Amino acid sequence: MNRIALVTGGVTGIGAATSLALKAAGYRVCVNYLGNEAGAEAFGRSNGIPTFAWDVADFDACAHGVAEVAAKLGPVEILVNNAGITRDSMLHKMTKEQWRSVIDIDLGGCFNMCRAVIESMRERNFGRIVNISSVNGLMGQAGQTNYAAAKAGMIGFTKALALESAPRGITVNAIAPGYTKTDMVATVRPDILKMIVDAVPARRLALPEEIARGAIFLVSDKAGFITGETLSINGGRYMS
Ligand code: CAA
């Protein structure tokens, strides 16, 4: 399988696991990242996966980044929107900046990146988009009004774009991971994280590779009739 796949936030965590799984499955993979220069350099060197730096919250940077990928590798046929941040705070303490940054990066990034690839996918009558949402977009989480709003927004976005894109052979799906063993989850206070894990029927965090496996399934050519769906991978924590 020689299709070209782009994973945002692809140097660490779920993004890195997804990039590696795509490469192992035979796709031509490249990743986007921002800020983590040393990590990106080491990732690219050890895996031979090209890395491209831009800010997914910046509309023009996404357009330029996708054009650069197209010039170097070819048109993006598979997009995994994984880049995201948390800025946890109870709403009564949340700043405008905490709200805006999460909405701009997590949800705005999804729009910016889809917008940058969709015309070429439509022209080619093929595309696979996977938006990495969250269990907390489905069930909410105290301290995450910003993140839950952005991740729930990605699910509505996924459904709307799936409807627009189905006639062109493009599928658009979301994955809603539960709490996963990543740097993002490692920032949660240990006592709070213990309570969270205790509430997971499987009694553990997901591994990034377990989320990546869902993405590999959804982007395959044979998954062409699955669109607008949200695949929960959460150890039984929430069943919608
Ligand atoms: N439900 C209701 N109220 C809660 C609560 C809960 N689950 N947790 C805390 N509160 C209340 C506390 O009782 C406290 O009340 P009082 O002010 O009346 O005493 C108040 O909220 C403040 O609680 P804290 O002392 O904990 O406040 P804090 O400012 O120190 O911390 C917080 C707030 C940063 C949001 C912290 O509670 C926290 O980190 N929560 C976890 C958030 C979380 O799950 N983040 C996930 C990050 S990873 C991720 O998001 C990946 C993914 O997709 C799953």
pLDDT of residue 240: 87
Domain boundaries, the chain: 4-230
pLDDT at 1: 61
Give me the residues paired with residue 73 across strands.
Answer: none
Q: Of 87, 111, 92, which Cα lies nearest the Cα of 172?
A: 111
CATH 3.40.50.720 at 4-230, yes or no: yes
Compute, in angstroms, the gap from residue 36 CA to the centroid of ligand 1: 27
pLDDT value of residue 145: 99
The answer to whether 117 and 66 are in contact (CB under 8 A) is: yes
CB 55 within 8 A of CB 34: yes
The tokens of 104 are what? Answer: 């701009």
Per the listing, tokens 């509430």 go with: 199
pLDDT at 195: 97
- Closest Cα to atom 24 of ligand 1: 90
How much distance in Å is there from the Cα of 208 to the middle of ligand 1? Answer: 24
CA–centroid distance, 143 to ligand 1, in Å, is 5
Q: Over its length of 240 residues, how does the chain's per-residue pLDDT go in tens digits?
A: 699 999 999 999 999 999 999 999 999 999 999 999 999 999 999 999 999 999 999 999 999 999 999 999 999 999 999 999 999 999 999 999 999 999 999 999 999 999 999 999 999 999 999 999 999 999 999 999 999 999 999 999 999 999 999 999 999 999 999 999 999 999 999 999 999 999 999 999 999 999 999 999 999 999 999 999 999 999 999 998
* Burial class, 119, CB count within 10 angstroms (exposed 0-12 / middle 13-18 / buried 19+): exposed
156: phi then psi, degrees, rounded to nearest 5: -65, -40
Please state, in angstroms and rounded to a whole number, the distance separating the CA atoms of residues 45 and 27: 18
Of 133, 135, 179, 192, the residue with max ligand 1 atoms within 8 A of its CB, to mutate for a pocket test, comes to: 192
